Structure 1
C-alpha cells in the first residue's frame, strides 16, 4: 500500500468514530476542548490496537488462504463498508433531555470498541497485504484521534444529524479501497 492509500484507509476507518463523536458532542452541553481531546485519545488508542489484533488473527490464517487473499480483503472491506453505510442511514436523531457536561470513561471505551470492530476486521485483511502493521495502526490511531476530537467539537454546533452521513462516507471509502485492492491484484488496470 502506498502512503495515500494508507492515509485514505486510516481516515476512512475513523469515520465511524467521527460520527459517534459528533453524537457525543451533540449530547453534551458545549463540550470543552479538554473533553474533546479526552474522547479523541480514547477512541484513537482503541482504534490503533484493534487492527493489530485483527492482523495477528489474519497472519495465523494467511498460510491457508494466500492464493485468494485479495478476495478476502475485498469481501471484508465490502461487508464493513456496506454495514457502515446501512448503520449511517438508519441512525436516528439524538433527543435532547438531560444534557451532561462529560461522558463517563467506560461509556467512551465501550463506544470506541464498538466503532473499532471494523478496524479489527480490516487488520485481518491487512495481514494478507504485507503492510507494516505498526505504522498502519499508528496512522489509524492518529487519524481517529484527530477525527473524534474534531467530531466532539463539531457536535456541539452541528448536532447528531450530520454524524450519520460521515459514517456513510466512511463506508463508501472502505468499499473503494477494497475494490482498489482487488483491481490492482487482478491487474485489471494495467
Structure 2
C-alpha cells in the first residue's frame, strides 16, 4: 500500500470513532481536553490493535484463498463501506441519546471503542492478503483514531450528531474507493 492509501485508510477507519466521540461530546457538559484526550486514547489503542488481530486471522486463511484474495479484500471493504454509508445516512436514535449519562466511565468508552473497531478487524483480515507493513498501518489507524476521537469530543458539544454522520458517509465512500482500486489494480495485472 502507498502512503496515500495508508493515510486514507487510517482516517476512514477513524470515522466511526469520530462520530461516536461527537455523540459523547454532545452529551458531556463542556468537555475538557483531558476528557477528550482520554476518550481519544482509548479509541486509538483499540482501533490500532484490532487490525493486527484481523491480520493474524487473515494470514491463517491466506493459503486457502490466495487466488481470490483481491476479491476478498474488495468485498470486505465494499461491505464495510456500504455499512458505514447506511449508518451515516440513518437518523440517530434520540431515545438512546437522551438516556445516556452526562459523564462516561472508561469502561463505557472502551466498550464503544470495541464496537466501532469491528470494521478495523475486518480490514486487518483483508490486509493479510496485500503486501503492506501491518505495524505501520495499525499505528497509522491508531494515531488517526486518537486524533479524530479527541477532536470529536471537543467538537461534539457545538456540532452535535450531524457532522459525525457525514464523516461516517465519507469514510464509507473512501473504503469502497480503496477496495475498488485494489481490485482494478489486481485485475489489470492479469
Shift of 1:186: 1.1
Find the counterpart in structure 2 of residue 105 from structure 1.
Answer: 106
Shift of 1:97: 5.0
User: Where in structure 1 are there 5+ consecutive unaligned residues?
Assistant: none
10-19 or 155-164: which moved more?
A: 155-164
Correspondence list, 1:154-169, <5 A: 154-169=155-170
Find the counterpart in structure 2 of residue 144 from structure 1.
Answer: 145
- Cα distance in 2, alignment partners of residues 33 and 92 from structure 1: 25
- Cα distance in 2, alignment partners of residues 147 and 163 from structure 1: 11
Shift of 1:160: 1.5
Find the counterpart in structure 2 of residue 24 from structure 1.
Answer: 24
- Cα distance in 2, alignment partners of residues 162 and 134 from structure 1: 30
* Residues 142 and 164 of structure 1, relative CA distance in 2, 3 Å threshold: same
Find the counterpart in structure 2 of residue 175 from structure 1.
Answer: 176
Assess if the C-alpha contact under 8 Å between 1:84 and 1:167 holds in 2.
Answer: yes
RMSD value, Cα: 1.6
- Cα distance in 1, alignment partners of residues 91 and 81 from structure 2: 15
* Residues 63 and 177 of structure 1, relative CA distance in 2, 3 Å threshold: same
Find the counterpart in structure 1 of residue 52 from structure 2.
Answer: 52
Find the counterpart in structure 2 of residue 72 from structure 1.
Answer: 72
Find the counterpart in structure 1 of residue 11 from structure 2.
Answer: 11
- Cα distance in 2, alignment partners of residues 5 and 99 from structure 1: 36
Find the counterpart in structure 1 of residue 187 from structure 2.
Answer: 186
Find the counterpart in structure 2 of residue 61 from structure 1.
Answer: 61
Q: Which runs of 4+ in 1 moved over 6 A?
A: none
- Cα distance in 1, alignment partners of residues 78 and 177 from structure 2: 8
**What CA deviation, in whole Å up to 9, does each residue of 1:127-162 have, x standing for no partner?**
000211111100000000000001111101111222
Find the counterpart in structure 2 of residue 43 from structure 1.
Answer: 43
Shift of 1:68: 1.1
Shift of 1:102: 2.7
Q: Normalization by structure 1: what TM-score?
A: 0.94
Shift of 1:98: 7.7
